[in-house]
Amino acid sequence: MVAYTVVIPAAGRGKRMGADANKLMLTLRDKPIIAWTLQTFDTDPWCERIVLAIRPEERDWFEEITSQMKTPVTYVAGGEERQQSVHAGLKVVAPDTIVMIHDGARPFVKREQLHQVAEAARQGGAILAVPVKDTVKQVEDHHIERTVPRENLWLAQTPQAFQAKAILTAHERAVEQQVMGTDDASLFEWLGESVQVVLGDYHNIKMTTPEDLLFGDAILAKEELQ
Ligand SMILES: Nc1ccn([C@@H]2O[C@H](COP(=O)(O)OP(=O)(O)OP(=O)(O)O)[C@@H](O)[C@H]2O)c(=O)n1
Ligand SMILES: C[C@](O)(CO)[C@H](O)COP(=O)(O)O
């Protein structure tokens, strides 16, 4: 096993959730989504530090949760885009460590998968992903242009883990060249770096739209049964 620091982007506005507040404040079984996510890292002895990118005006709310935790927490101000929030977090991570980047909106990641991704990151980049299950169509103006062969298509998740110095460099180059990616691995790939895929889990959903709250509740109910 390898020790790591986790950067958790948690400064979004949850527009697709339709919430009038940060969707990470919404509760699943009476506990905020972000509290479920933080709990996984706070109870992992290999997690050395949590870097939380938030909107400064929400700091008091987050501190209500993190003040109960034992893992050291560093706050940074998030940006208008997820990439900016992650970049702000990377700037405070020691360069010679393994950094895990994990969406605050993914509360169901399993610890053993965290460890697999951290281990894989010793050789370069590594992400959790799952194979596509549906047929994929490329669509233009509501018409199918083509069916995309899905044998090699995977859905990227988080965590995404890297040598901290290397992924910070990728973010800095992306700022210089005005390159935006929807995940961090895409910036690493853009630099021509290798990224390994670790098989994730279909439970590791990102709480994005209202029905994800139903799926999340069902996942927790199933875990309570185990
Ligand atoms: N400027 C942003 C945007 C997103 N995030 C975080 O990145 C994760 C994944 O982003 P997403 O699910 O897209 O969250 P939102 O941006 O809040 O959602 P939406 O696009 O629907 O507004 C979330 O934990 C979110 O809080 C962030 O830290 N800073
Ligand atoms: C990083 C990510 O979760 C990988 O699937 C996804 O790209 C985040 O996208 P979002 O639109 O910022 O939620």
- Residues 180-217 have pLDDT tens digits of 999 999 999 999 999 999 999 999 999 999 999 999 99
Q: Does pLDDT of 13 surpass 90?
A: yes
Atom of ligand 1 nearest to the CA of 206: 12
- How far is 6 from 58, CA to CA, in rounded Å? 20
Residue 202 in 3-state DSSP? coil
Going by alpha carbons, the residue nearest to atom 1 of ligand 1 is 81
Name the residue at shortest CA distance from atom 16 of ligand 1. Answer: 12
Binding pocket residue ranges, ligand 1, CB within 6 Å:
9-17, 23-24, 53, 78-82, 85, 103-105, 206, 208
Distance CA 108, CA 106 (A): 6
156 CB under 6 A from ligand 2?
A: yes
How many other CB atoms are found less than 10 A from the CB of residue 36? 22
User: Taking the domains of the chain in order of start, what are their residue ranges?
Assistant: 4-225
Show Cβ contacts of residue 122 under 8 Å, excluding neighbours closer than 6 positions: 2, 98, 163
Ligand 2 binding pocket includes 213 (Cβ within 6 Å) = no
Task: Give tens-digit pLDDT for 157-186.
Answer: 999 999 999 999 999 999 999 999 999 999
Fold of 4-225: Spore Coat Polysaccharide Biosynthesis Protein SpsA; Chain A (3.90.550)
Q: Whose C-alpha lies nearest to ligand 1, atom 4?
A: 12
Q: How far is C-alpha 19 from the chain's CA centre?
A: 20
Q: What spacing in Å lies between the alpha carbon of 19 and ligand 2's midpoint?
A: 18
pLDDT tens profile 87-144: 999 999 999 999 999 999 999 999 999 999 999 999 999 999 999 999 999 999 999 9
- Whether the CB-CB separation of 95 and 166 falls below 8 Å is answered with no
Q: Is 157 in the pocket of ligand 2 (CB under 6 A)?
A: yes
Q: Is this prediction's pTM over 0.90?
A: yes
